[in-house]
Amino acid sequence: MGAAEHSNRQTRNCAATPENIAAAATALRAGQLVAFPTETVYGLGADATNGAAVAGIYQAKGRPSFNPLIAHVADAEAAFQEGVFSDAAKRLANTFWPGPLTLVVPLNPHSKISDLARAGLDSIGLRVPSHPVAHALLKAVARPIAAPSANRSGHVSPTTASHVAEDLATRIDMILDGGACDVGVESTILSCLDDTPRILRPGGISRAQIEAVLGHALPEEDGQTPGEAIVAPGMLASHYAPKAKLRLNARDLRPRETGLDFGMSFGGMAARDLSPTGDLAEAAANLFTFLRAMDSEGHATIAIAPIPQDGLGEAINDRLSRAAAPR
């Protein structure tokens, strides 16, 4: 689905009744976009296991690049199926979930969360929201839901259904109106990727609360370390980069190159095509999976066909330029 189609949807604004929650779950399983309340802010939900659905989030938000998205699940047991939790991470999960804490953990090898939702990383941010509507929806969907804040990128985060409609009406399929959010600020994001948990983004759970559970102080320096791979929304850094050299905007294939095509630009000579029909949403859904697969094949250089700069093409080109940067 192209950007133009995406901006002409009939957005249904529905009270969060049991019937409408069931309808929203059906819509999510079908790859549609549903905004729903959490205790922090309204989230823009898509099936996190469906790369094409996740691409729709970026289209709707106008998100400038493919940052990793938080995956929301119904309970801690569901989270443990998607990530690898240390003892400390499990203590935090059992203490603060459901609630406004996102834990960034190594990816479980059996996870079904799409590469695009993770921005190609081997880690995942997971959260169990406490809002009753969010909980009922996640239980009904029975799969992880990627859900950044339900607003256009750069705009103020929404705490009511009317805020969502102001930003995203005609761009998403459904808004579940569950009233105003209680917390009103995003979740705390805590990295649990090594032996030293640290706060990546302050939020609804305080440093003191986390330290009380861990039994020791957290590092004072929060946020992203310069040069570190991005692991959570709102962080500044480079993304996963392949070992192969990338040649961007390639018009042909040179000797000893493999090709990553778009719209059959290479005339069927490329190893893979992000979208033979030139669909940017399909290309976004395939991007990280194809890059990883081609990199694992040991190619020295991957020639990448030109990608249009409009719509999702801007984000795809942003990701490719980062992957091609000297390192």
Is 185 found in the same domain as 276? no
169, 194, 214 — which closes off a domain?
Answer: 214
Residue 252 resides in a domain = yes
For residue 279, give its domain range: 245-324
Q: What is the pLDDT of residues 288-313, one digit of tens each?
A: 788 878 888 989 999 999 999 887 78
Is 105 found in the same domain as 201? yes
Q: Give residue 169's Cα distance to chain centre.
A: 21
Residue 234 resides in a domain = no
Domain count for the chain, please give it: 2
Is 189 found in the same domain as 87? yes
Q: What is the pLDDT of residues 162-219, one digit of tens each?
A: 999 999 999 999 999 999 998 877 899 999 998 899 998 888 898 999 999 999 999 9
- For residues 39 and 62, the model is more confident at 39
**Cα–Cα distance between 111 and 190 in angstroms, integer?**
20
Q: What tokens does 209 get? A: 């609360």
Residue 237 resides in a domain = no
Q: What is the pLDDT of residues 74-115, one digit of tens each?
A: 999 999 999 999 999 999 999 999 999 999 999 999 999 999
Mean pLDDT for all residues in the chain:
88
Residue 233 resides in a domain = no
Q: Give residue 178's Cα distance to chain centre.
A: 23
Q: What is the pLDDT of residues 226-242, one digit of tens each?
A: 444 555 554 433 344 67
Residue 39 resides in a domain = yes
In this predicted structure, what is the pLDDT of residue 30?
A: 98
Is 319 found in the same domain as 172? no
Is 100 found in the same domain as 162? yes
Is 267 found in the same domain as 156? no
Residue 249 resides in a domain = yes
In this predicted structure, what is the pLDDT of residue 237?
A: 37
Is 269 found in the same domain as 196? no
Is 205 found in the same domain as 257? no
- Listed in order, strand segments (DSSP E) in the chain are 12-15, 34-37, 42-47, 71-72, 101-106, 123-127, 145-146, 174-177, 188-191, 198-201, 245-247, 257-261, 272-273, 301-304
Q: What is the pLDDT of residues 28-54, one digit of tens each?
A: 999 999 999 999 999 999 999 999 999
User: Percentage of the chain surpassing pLDDT 90?
Assistant: 64
Is 249 found in the same domain as 202? no
Would the pLDDT of 18 be above 60? yes
CATH of residue 193: 3.90.870.10
In this predicted structure, what is the pLDDT of residue 65?
A: 66
Residue 221 resides in a domain = no
DSSP code per residue over 49-76: T-HHHHHHHHHHHT-SS----PEE-SSH
- The pTM for the full model equals 0.81
Is 188 found in the same domain as 59? yes
- For residues 136 and 292, the model is more confident at 136
Sort strands 34-37 and 123-127 into parallel, antiparallel or unpaired: unpaired
Residue 297 resides in a domain = yes
In this predicted structure, what is the pLDDT of residue 289?
A: 81
In this predicted structure, what is the pLDDT of residue 323?
A: 80
In this predicted structure, what is the pLDDT of residue 231?
A: 57
Is 57 found in the same domain as 9? yes
Is 267 found in the same domain as 199? no
